[in-house]
């Protein structure tokens, strides 16, 4: 652990025992203690419930992709585009999130995004053709795209001394939502005997998540704080580019798994229900791991946590490649679930590798918008190559190459450095 990381931990422990009487607005912008007690739980509920929905529109599709393709007449290439759509939406809309947050505030931003998601989920479920299904899916992904960027900034601004704890709550609930949608969509489809109902049901938790944002009112003291500024010249930062590569590679691997696991396992002889349960296992494993990763990242430093997570990838890739659909498939899925928990580590690093909310906003926006463009190549390439060759060998080799890039970029990012040290802030 570095000296600065150790100092940060000591500061957090001191803050927990003796809360600061007056926060510094220009560096942390936290709510005053009494105000935080009054409105903090509403804001926490808003963050957690919103996070539950950020992946349901994605994993619900992967769970019944075969039925969906049959119902809409999708080819393998178009199905690859469907699994790529989330990352393209996140790249495009995520880049706008900081600007929208500065203009409208987090309350209006998250409320509008979740409402758009609800409407999109319902509309795409009864879309009569593939084109409209893709269009309404893009609407449904708006909340995830905006939330991925906006939530780390909100955490840095309102919970500057609880980044690890709040990132744990956020990432764990995000993983839980992904797991529930992956595991429950196929059974709902079986019970309702209609994949459209299984798609539409995920609008309900999105509507519920709007309630805390309608109730939450920033306190006058917090409302009077200067808005989050900008950090100029992000493209000049080597840290920002490495974060972009790190985020892009982990997202590409995650979306390949979410989009194609059931198809891969079905090709190896698994039933649709069993393949769906394996996808559910992958996302379920992420839940407890997401609980501990941000906390251990703050406590131990990012290096040991990153190395432990990365050690799970080689056996998972080799095992699924050689023995997909076999007796140990559950083990390969569990290892993938642990490895892909690099995601909450990256979310934590958005706060730990920036000194201010402006730095967090710049780093998060740049890394996620550009990273998702990299990630978008993954699922689309898998669908195209598989449709062309009928073999999973090349896609697995592609995942292995992404893992190498993930490891190399991660080794750079886990070293102690701050984006403000490289850029000019206004």
CA 231 to chain CA centroid, Å, is 23
Do residues 238 and 361 touch, judged by C-beta distance below 8 A? no
DSSP string, 5-35: HHHHHHHHHHHHHS--SS--TTTT-PPPHHH
Does the predicted TM-score (pTM) go above 0.95?
no
Domain annotation covers residue 24: no
Domain annotation covers residue 308: yes
Taking the CA atoms of 143, 146, 398 and 135 in sequence, report the sign of the dihedral they define. Answer: positive
Domain annotation covers residue 222: no
The pLDDT tens digits for 70-127 are 888 877 667 767 766 766 777 666 667 767 777 877 778 888 889 999 999 999 999 8
Domain annotation covers residue 315: yes
What is the rounded CA–CA span in Å between residue 385 and residue 379? 10
Domain annotation covers residue 254: yes
The yes-or-no verdict on residue 23 having pLDDT over 60 is no
Tell me how many domains the chain contains: 1
Q: Return the bridge partners of 232, or none.
A: 424
What is the rounded CA–CA span in Å between residue 61 and residue 240? 32
Taking the CA atoms of 316, 322, 326 and 328 in sequence, report the sign of the dihedral they define. Answer: negative
What is the rounded CA–CA span in Å between residue 389 and residue 386? 5
| Cα Rg of the chain (Å, integer) | 21
**425, containing H or E segment:** strand 424-425
Domain annotation covers residue 11: no
Domain annotation covers residue 7: no
* Structure token pair of residue 317: 């890739």
Higher pLDDT, 341 or 225: 341
Q: How many CB atoms lie within 10 A of CB 363?
A: 29
DSSP string, 70-100: HHHT--HHHHHHHHHHHHHHHHHHHHHHHHH
**Structural domain boundaries, residue 257:** 32-216+233-425
What is the rounded CA–CA span in Å between residue 321 and residue 138? 31
Q: Return the bridge partners of 425, or none.
A: 231
The pLDDT tens digits for 367-424 are 888 888 888 788 778 878 887 887 788 888 889 999 999 999 999 999 988 888 887 5
3-state SS class at 162 = coil
* Structure token pair of residue 245: 């590569």
Q: Quick one: DSSP state of residue 415? A: S
- Tokens 């769906």 appear where? 276
Residues 6+ positions from 29 with CB-CB distance below 8 Å: 23, 157, 158, 160, 222, 225, 226, 228, 357
Q: What per-residue confidence (pLDDT) applies to 376?
A: 75
Q: Quick one: which of 304, 237, 239, 349 has its CA closest to 8?
A: 349
Residues 6+ positions from 78 with CB-CB distance below 8 Å: 130, 383
Assign residue 290 the CATH number of its domain.
1.20.1250.20
Lowest mean per-residue pLDDT among 17-26, 106-115, 332-341: 17-26
Domain annotation covers residue 2: no
The stretch 212-233 carries a mean pLDDT of: 62
The pLDDT tens digits for 35-70 are 545 567 888 899 999 999 988 888 888 778 778 888
Do residues 133 and 72 touch, judged by C-beta distance below 8 A? yes
């Amino acid at each position: 652990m570095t000296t600065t990381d150790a100092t940060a931990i000591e500061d957090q422990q001191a803050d927990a025992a003796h809360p600061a009487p007056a926060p510094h607005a220009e560096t942390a912008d936290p709510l005053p203690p009494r105000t935080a007690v009054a409105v903090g739980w509403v804001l926490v509920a808003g963050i957690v419930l919103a996070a539950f929905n950020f992946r349901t529109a994605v994993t619900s599709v992967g769970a019944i992709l075969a039925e969906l393709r049959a119902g809409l007449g999708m080819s393998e290439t178009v199905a690859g585009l469907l699994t790529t759509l989330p990352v393209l939406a996140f790249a495009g809309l995520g880049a706008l999130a900081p600007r929208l947050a500065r203009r409208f505030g987090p309350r209006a931003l998250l409320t509008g995004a979740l409402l758009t998601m609800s409407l999109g989920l319902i509309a795409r479920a009864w879309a009569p053709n593939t084109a409209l299904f893709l269009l309404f899916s893009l609407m449904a992904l708006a909340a995830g795209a905006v939330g991925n960027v906006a939530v780390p900034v909100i955490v840095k601004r309102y919970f500057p001394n609880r980044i690890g704890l709040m990132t744990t709550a956020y990432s764990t609930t995000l993983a839980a939502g992904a797991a529930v949608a992956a595991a429950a969509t196929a059974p709902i489809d079986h019970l309702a005997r209609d994949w459209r109902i299984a798609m539409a049901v995920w609008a309900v938790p999105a509507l519920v998540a709007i309630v805390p944002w309608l109730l939450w009112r920033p306190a006058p003291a917090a409302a009077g704080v200067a808005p989050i500024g900008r950090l100029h010249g992000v493209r000049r930062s080597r840290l920002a580019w490495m974060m972009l590569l790190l985020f892009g590679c982990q997202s590409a691997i995650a979306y390949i798994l979410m989009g194609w696991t059931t198809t891969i396992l079905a090709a190896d002889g698994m039933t649709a229900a069993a393949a769906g349960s394996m996808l559910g296992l992958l996302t379920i494993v992420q839940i407890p791991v997401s609980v501990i990763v941000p906390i251990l990242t703050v406590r131990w430093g990012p290096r040991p946590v990153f190395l432990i997570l990365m050690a799970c990838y080689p056996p998972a890739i080799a095992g699924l490649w050689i023995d997909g659909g076999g007796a140990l498939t559950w083990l390969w899925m569990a290892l993938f679930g642990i490895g892909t928990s690099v995601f909450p580590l990256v979310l934590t690093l958005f706060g730990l590798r920036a000194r201010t909310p402006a730095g967090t906003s710049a780093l998060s926006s740049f890394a996620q918008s550009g990273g998702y463009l990299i990630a978008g190549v993954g699922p689309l390439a898998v669908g195209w190559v598989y449709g062309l060759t009928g073999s999973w060998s090349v896609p697995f080799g592609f995942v292995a190459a992404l893992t190498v890039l993930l490891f190399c970029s991660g080794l750079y990012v886990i070293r102690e450095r701050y984006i403000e040290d490289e850029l000019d802030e206004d």
